[in-house]
Structure 1
Amino acid sequence: MELSYFHVAADVPFEKNTEVAVVIDVLRATTTIACALNNGAESVETFADISELRRKSSFCPDSKRILLGERGGVKIEGFDLGNSPVAVKPEIVKEKRLFMSTTNGTRSLEKVRDSKALYTMALINRKFVAEKLLLDRPDNVLLLGSGWEGAYSLEDSLAAGALASYILESGMCTVQVINDELSSALALWSYWENDLEGCLRQSTHGQRLQRLGNHDDDFLCCSEIDKVNVVPTQREPGVLCCI
């Protein structure tokens, strides 16, 4: 299995032929997606463009849809929820279709939506995504961070290193780390693995969230490791569910 990691969508080579892509946005989109599906959401449909989200969601009955998302870390005006993993409670999202747009994560999802298989991952579901990859053993896996408005993010690289470390340490298959970005992510994981919340809070995105208000519950949730047994999987372009 060849593993590579790219910090943001723009870094992925245009000609890259991707068998499996894993999109990461620890703070907070892919953590929110994992929690929503774990709490019974029917699916999460992601959009980079808010106007397209509004258009597409208008075809879904009011009783079955939830709009969630943020820009600059702040809930989008008129939406039901922001982008918080602790807000997608079972009593709110169960059997609902979620329409989601965020500053960073949905851009990465759009970049690799034509992959043969696409999953989303955060620290909270790291183990279960890793075990899915170990079960299927694809020839190549592209890990893609989301960053912040096109720039590197510490927390996404931490999660990429966490996933690669789990796969390497399993000893279940031959693994090739094929770019320096992933080697750096593995080193980052080794340094921070015993203080995940500290890493998230030290990141520039984490500091930005702290300036916006009290996000202690989000930091706690996003820094939990291997707590949620779901593998969000793209069922059709842009639509994630548990299969």
Structure 2
Amino acid sequence: METKKVIGRRRFSMTITTLAFVFLYLPIVALIVLSFNSARQGVTWTGFTLKWYSELFRQADVWRAFLNTVIIALTSSLAATAIGTFSAMALYWYQSRLKGYLGILVYTPLIIPDILMGVSMLIFFVAVGVPLGLFTIFVAHVTFCVSYVTVTVMTRLEDFDYSVVEAARDLGAKTHEVFRKVIVPIIMPGIIAGFLLSLTLSIDDFVITFFVAGPGSTTLPLKIYSMIKFGVSPVINALSTLLLVGTMFISFFGSRFRKLIF
């Protein structure tokens, strides 16, 4: 009797899990499949085609949005990685009563709603007179990506054995040599994972970018939004599929590096 109950619970759990995966991934699968559908309207499958991807690559405004996305993602991720790495080391080794409060400030951008973050950044830029454009998007992305990098690197620092630093100093290593040859190699998996995470977040961000973008600074998420206002077309499906594949590719390598942390 007990065995039947256990089997019943397992079947129920498997059913719920299966339904959850279907709910999460069926829309994504449908999006990818419809991007190869020859029908311009509707969801009825009429044949396989690549013409929507060909049409997508011929649109100059899409390429401009792609270039803006790549530039902002790379530059903001590099800046956030540098700032976040030094912030993590400072918070980890800094001994003070303010350490707890500083930690709260680091975690705050992680829990603030994106729309609130976007509005606050917009108000700030307008108040200081900074014109909206690529620079404001860059600053906004660095602002919310720094926290993710800091948390990721601090996770790596939790397993840091400070005795190796003392050993290096006893052997005559200078401060910059200890940092470059001892500390950085040990926390490098956390740094790379933080960079890849920032890259993914920057590429996919829509809400914050929507508030701080200006003329000529359209990114791919904003481009998809502007296109979908006129109706869903296979070209949008193709663009969304490429964006999805790109972020999944980055996330895959990011997860591989994160496995080195835990």
Same fold (TM over 0.5): no
Relative to its length, the structure with more strand (as a share) is: 1
TM-score normalised by structure 1 residue count: 0.28
TM-score normalised by structure 2 residue count: 0.26
